Amino acid sequence: MGKIEILSPCGGPESVDAALRTGADAVYLGARKFSARHNAVNFSDEELFAAVRECHRHGVLVYLAFNTVLRDSELEEAAGLLKLACEAGADGLIIQDMAVYEMARAACPDMPLHASTQMTVHTPCGVDSAAKLGFKRVVAARELSLEQIKELCGRGVEIEVFAHGALCMCVSGQCYLSAMIGGRSANRGLCAGACRLPFSAAGKPSERDFALSLKDMSYCGHISELEEAGVTSLKIEGRMKRPEYVAAATDALFRARSGDEVDYGALRAVFSRSGFTDGYLTGKLGSEMFGAREKEDVTAAASALPKLQKLYEKPEKRFKLDIRFTAKRGEPMRLEVSDGELSAAVSGDIPEDARTRETTAREIEAQLIKLGGTLYYADRAEVAADGGLAIPLSKINALRREAVERLDEARIEKLSQPKSFNGSGLSFAFPLPLIRKRPEFRIRVERIEQLSKLELRGEDIVIPLGTEEEYLSAGYDPERAVIALPRFDNDEKITAARLKTAKNLGFSAAECGNIGHIELASKLGFKLLGGFGLNIANSLAARYYFLEGLETITLSPELKASQCSKIACPGRLGAVIYGRLPLMLTRNCPIAAQVGCKNCTRRLKDRTGAEFPIVCRRESGYFELLNSRPIWLADRLDDFNLDFGDLMFTTETPEQAARVLRAYRSGAEPRGEFTRGMYYRGVE
């Protein structure tokens, strides 16, 4: 290819032609299950094989999106999809769950793995970890600046960045808003788009207040910068979009890569939210990045679609063809074609002597270069024919068609080689965990002062990185403390320096919410504890992280209580059992964008009047949207067969935190507004 890859989304078979005919170098698509866009049309088994074959005929690679969090009950079926991907000859798997990583490593080690953006990889340590694990590619978080992207490149693994399409308000893999509000999990491919509903920082929202909705991104004007940075692939978001959108976005990136003018009007018309933004790449965050789908955006698409359909009416000419035709008296005609890498040759009838008029070399050449409707254009055509021969033009055309078809087949055969799969070593019979005591309590605070009224009885205490000196000054034991690393590292060097300082002060345990944290903390000699942001929801993933050195694991908050209790792992397992769960991890502050920092209201309201607090972590470069109601399980702890439960204190005063701890020790019934989280109703 020689240039930065254009990677197009295919939500169904109809989008494949749109991508192939407008310049895609690779496509990504999903099967009917285990794809982060479960509500796209997606591909049946037969359609998957056909799509891989057609893409490979075009010389285009196919990556299968296998990027959802799995349950124990789904692992065996997931292994079946892994086998199918190998048989189809897919060129790589985009994965989130380390259970899929473990299965692929054991059963098909030759299958290239791509770390999905759902894994929240956004730091050099995250990329280093992926490289050590054998990932071929990392799909970087969308929230990175060009300088941050540069830091990820050149570290032994390919870097893929999103270059066009919808922007989630939340960092991918860390959103629980849809699951908590509507029971549909973004981590399982069923995001309901709750962030596109009205929210406001200035009171109950009107129908035009969209404090959690960002414009779509477009980096068409930055392709050369990304290529110079070392980026391997430019990804287009949009497996839920129609083929015309795929064609428009692919064509735009293709033109931008070639230095040609981009039709931004058509690009905006087919789909946008009040235009486009490049705010993350340029580092210009703020109100200009926000936008919603307006009536004008919708109506503009109707007039744009017919024009965009013409973009992919005909196949793109992808390969130049060298053609050599030989016709000798008394010998079968022979046609050889080559695209520079692959060759094909066919033979025809023995030509007859001309009775009235011979077929000239020019006439033969004219037929040979008629390559309309194919992927080829003639670069050179050489005709070596004896004089005095009569060759029907229909036979020349037939030879040309056969030669081109054989060349297509040669390319398909080269690119679609099935990968070996041996699932004999896979086992999904996890023994039920030993009966454990009711969960012990682990205290998690936002501010050290929240500890001041607690009657502590030797519980472990999780504190934010940077509060260690205040913690020590208050007289607390560093041996009982766990340092919670920032969930988004805007500057990993600063985080590393702070973590070293904590180590020197006597702190020895760190909570890790992504694979970059694990790499960083292990380098510095910390005991490793797994946070809920790892989205561990099955026994295979839990065992993987245990073997990687995690001494404790906080399970995904999207599991039911019964599912939590059946996770089989030698390590200590826990769950968040009290508190306002962070529903979103954002780089943009929705309050500042709407009313400004000086007028901070510290919360958003939705259409029902529910208030969602915002935790400002501006110094670390991110913000957290908390749930409107705290999880309350004090009276339900017997339902959890776990080692520990986190009491997460965020907005509580010291007095409120003390009351909660006493209530949990006594098993008190809930009072006031509360939620059981997803522990009983579950999520799709």
On whether both 389 and 537 belong to a single domain, the answer is no
pLDDT of 266 reads 87
On whether both 133 and 147 belong to a single domain, the answer is yes
pTM: 0.96
Bridge-based pairing state of the strands 276-277 and 611-617? unpaired
Q: How many domains does the chain have?
A: 3
On whether both 573 and 660 belong to a single domain, the answer is yes
Mean of all residue pLDDT scores within the chain? 95
What CATH number is given to the structural domain containing 475?
A: 3.20.20.70
On whether both 265 and 382 belong to a single domain, the answer is no
- Tokens 């004090």 sit on residue: 634
Q: Which of 296, 313, 330 is the last residue of a domain?
A: 313
What DSSP string runs through 560-611? -HHHHHT---SSEEEEEEEE--EEEEESS-HHHHHH-GGG--SEEEETT--E
Run of H or E including 338: strand 334-338
On whether both 78 and 226 belong to a single domain, the answer is yes
On whether both 464 and 566 belong to a single domain, the answer is yes
Encode pLDDT of 275-296 as tens digits.
899 999 999 999 999 999 887 7
Q: What is the mean pLDDT of each run of 10 residues along the chain (684 residues)?
A: 88 95 97 84 94 98 97 96 97 98 98 98 98 98 98 98 96 96 93 94 92 96 97 96 95 96 90 92 95 81 84 93 97 97 97 94 97 96 96 97 98 96 93 77 98 97 98 97 97 97 98 98 98 98 97 98 94 97 97 95 96 95 97 96 96 98 98 96 93
Q: In terms of residue numbers, what domain contains 328?
A: 319-415
Q: Which of 273, 294, 313 is the last residue of a domain?
A: 313
3-state SS assignment for residue 96: coil
Please report, to the nearest 10 degrees, the dihedral formed by the alpha carbons of residues 23, 26, 30, 35 taken in order. Answer: -110
Encode pLDDT of 351-390 as tens digits.
999 999 999 999 999 999 999 999 999 999 999 999 999 9
Residue 285, domain member (yes or no):
yes
Q: Which of 261, 280, 313 is the last residue of a domain?
A: 313
On whether both 242 and 292 belong to a single domain, the answer is yes
Looking at residue 628, the DSSP 8-state letter turns out to be S
Encode pLDDT of 311-352 as tens digits.
899 999 999 999 999 999 999 999 999 999 999 999 999 999
On whether both 230 and 276 belong to a single domain, the answer is yes
Token pair of 557 as six digits = 């908050």
Residue 610: name the closest of 626, 631, 589, 587 by CA.
Answer: 626
- Tokens 């698509």 sit on residue: 29
Residue 45, domain member (yes or no):
yes
3-state SS assignment for residue 521: helix
On whether both 298 and 323 belong to a single domain, the answer is no
On whether both 241 and 296 belong to a single domain, the answer is yes
Residue 591, domain member (yes or no):
no
Radius of gyration of the chain (CA): 29
Q: How far is CA 528 from CA 57, 129, 414, 469, 574, in A?
A: 47, 15, 45, 21, 14
Share above pLDDT 70 across residues of the chain, in percent, rounded to a whole number: 99
On whether both 145 and 161 belong to a single domain, the answer is yes
* CB atoms near residue 592 (< 10 Å): 20
Run of H or E including 649: strand 644-649
Q: How far apart are CA 569 and CA 546, in angstroms?
A: 8
Relative orientation angle of helices 515-523 and 124-133, to the nearest 10 degrees: 100
